[in-house]
Amino acid sequence: MKIGYWDAFSGISGDMSIGSLLDAGASFEELTKGLTSLNTGATFRCERTMRKGITASKFHVDYEPQKKHRHLHHIAAMIEGSTLPDPVKQNSLKVFQNLAEAEAQVHGTSIQKVHFHEVGAVDSICDIVGACLALHLLNVDTIHCSQINVGSGTANTEHGVLPVPTPATALLLKDKPIYSAGPVMELTTPTGAALAVTLAENFGPMPPMRIQSIGYGAGDRDFPIQANVLRFTLGETTGATEATTVTVLEANIDDCSPQVLGYAMDRLFAAGALDVTIEPLLMKKNRQGSLLRVIATPHTQEQLAEIIFLETSTLGLRMYKAERRVQARQIVEVLTPHGKIRIKVSGGGSFAPEYDDCRALAEATGTPLRQILADANLAYLKITR
């Protein structure tokens, strides 16, 4: 599987995104061909430049200025009428949908009525579609992104001077890890934020990979204190142990029945919790209680916290970051006398039958569960000898 990683240590914008992908090996000729089919009248250039001593690609969109503002349906019609591959059309429309929702919330209107202003300009349209197309040209299966440097200070916009991150950017990056460092200016634009949150599967450390190429997309300015570039690393997944950042949510609870806690556990798992445990505690005043601990991905932590408050009696909880190691694994299906069963196999060679499969067959056939587990283990050993 091909994976890509955007390192937004100096922010992320539309042109920086395309520049990084072209620098990593995406075909400029194929990109130009696809963008030309949007019929915007724009032409495209990609030049090699330097940012703080690092060679990078700077992507340019040249077009005649247009005064009209576009709505979402205008942009959707342009994309649907192009010759772009269907996955590129779908991803581009998702990015614009997220942008429209953020702009509509900021301006108190509907996504059908919102004006895109800068985002509806030809260069921003080409930046968004171009980034989706370049990823397609590189055959990237999964995108990951670092924490995002949003910059600081203020930015001049269609609505006057606004704080950084601007309202639309801030909404798009809700629940995502951001920080502010470097020059006092806008480093992450709404276009860049929309691309990252729509296309990236998760935000955090670089996933384990075998690097194939690295590309740098240049921003407009050359800062004296840091390279104004967006780095894109393209590679293939490996069997290495994976390091990921997770959020741990904890609550000490002394006035909930086991039935209520059990139901809360079911809801947390259904909402995407990686793990949920309940441990007995002896709390203050010698009261018996329970420690509810939930391991979550950063983008689900707020939803899971809400479930904890809703389904338990706790008035507070603790949230902290932790680093998680996950061993590479695969699923192998084996055939037993009772039916097919999936086997989870770790990178180290250990294996275990999928419990839900075994239980379902035990209930369907009346066979003892321990017998089905034993037969599943035996079937896997036979195919690996």
User: What is the per-residue DSSP string for 143-208?
Assistant: EEE--EE-B-SEEEETTEEEESSPHHHHHHTTTS-EE--SSSSB-S-HHHHHHHHHHEEEESSPPP
Answer whether residue 141 shows pLDDT above 70.
yes
Torsion of CA 273, 278, 279, 284, to 10 degrees: 100
Answer whether residue 12 shows pLDDT above 50.
yes
Pair 109, 184 in one domain: yes
Answer whether residue 106 shows pLDDT above 50.
yes
How many angstroms from the chain centroid is the CA of residue 158? 29
Is residue 230 within a helix (H) or strand (E), and if so which, with residue range? Answer: strand 229-237
Pair 143, 214 in one domain: yes
Please list the residues that pair with 352 across neighbouring strands: 344
- In the Cβ-directed half-sphere of 199, how many Cα atoms lie within 13 Å? 35
Please list the residues that pair with 163 across neighbouring strands: 154
Pair 207, 275 in one domain: no
What is the rounded distance in angstroms from the CA atom of residue 120 to the CA atom of residue 181?
Answer: 29
Query: What residue type is 121 in one-letter code?
Result: A
Answer whether residue 94 shows pLDDT above 80.
yes
Structural domain including 181 reads 2-240
pLDDT of residue 121: 81
pLDDT of residue 118: 47
User: Which residue, 195, 216, 240, sits at the end of a domain?
Assistant: 240
pLDDT of residue 242: 60
Pair 251, 351 in one domain: no
What is the rounded distance in angstroms from the CA atom of residue 277 to the CA atom of residue 291?
Answer: 8
User: Which residue, 280, 299, 326, sits at the end of a domain?
Assistant: 326
pLDDT of residue 175: 86
pLDDT of residue 68: 65
Pair 130, 13 in one domain: yes
What is the rounded distance in angstroms from the CA atom of residue 295 to the CA atom of residue 249?
Answer: 6
Pair 249, 354 in one domain: no
Pair 9, 112 in one domain: yes
Instruction: Read off the pLDDT of each residue in 297-319 and give the average, rounded to a whole number.
Output: 92
Instruction: Read off the pLDDT of each residue in 315-319 and give the average, rounded to a whole number.
Output: 93
Pair 147, 103 in one domain: yes
What is the rounded distance in angstroms from the CA atom of residue 253 to the CA atom of residue 237?
Answer: 41
How many of the other CB atoms lie within 10 Å of CB of 112?
10
Pair 117, 249 in one domain: no
Are 338 and 370 within 8 A, CB to CB? no
Pair 103, 87 in one domain: yes
More reliable by pLDDT, 206 or 143: 143
pLDDT band of residue 237 (cuts 50, 70, 90) is confident
What is the rounded distance in angstroms from the CA atom of residue 263 to the CA atom of residue 241?
Answer: 33
Please list the residues that pair with 169 across neighbouring strands: none
Pair 53, 134 in one domain: yes
Are 197 and 144 within 8 A, CB to CB? no
Instruction: Return the percentage of the chain with pLDDT > 70, whole number.
Output: 96
Are 253 and 223 within 8 A, CB to CB? no
Instruction: Read off the pLDDT of each residue in 4-10 and give the average, rounded to a whole number.
Output: 97
Answer whether residue 284 shows pLDDT above 60.
yes
User: Which residue, 326, 341, 358, sits at the end of a domain?
Assistant: 326
The overall pTM is greater than 0.75: no
Answer whether residue 72 shows pLDDT above 90.
no
Pair 217, 183 in one domain: yes
Query: What residue type is 33 in one-letter code?
Result: K
Mention every residue, 6+ apart, whose C-beta is less than 8 A from residue 29: none
What is the count of structural domains for the chain?
A: 3
What is the rounded distance in angstroms from the CA atom of residue 69 to the CA atom of residue 119?
Answer: 9
Please list the residues that pair with 5 across neighbouring strands: 144, 233
The pLDDT tens digits of the residues spanning 144-173 come to 999 999 999 988 877 788 899 999 999 999
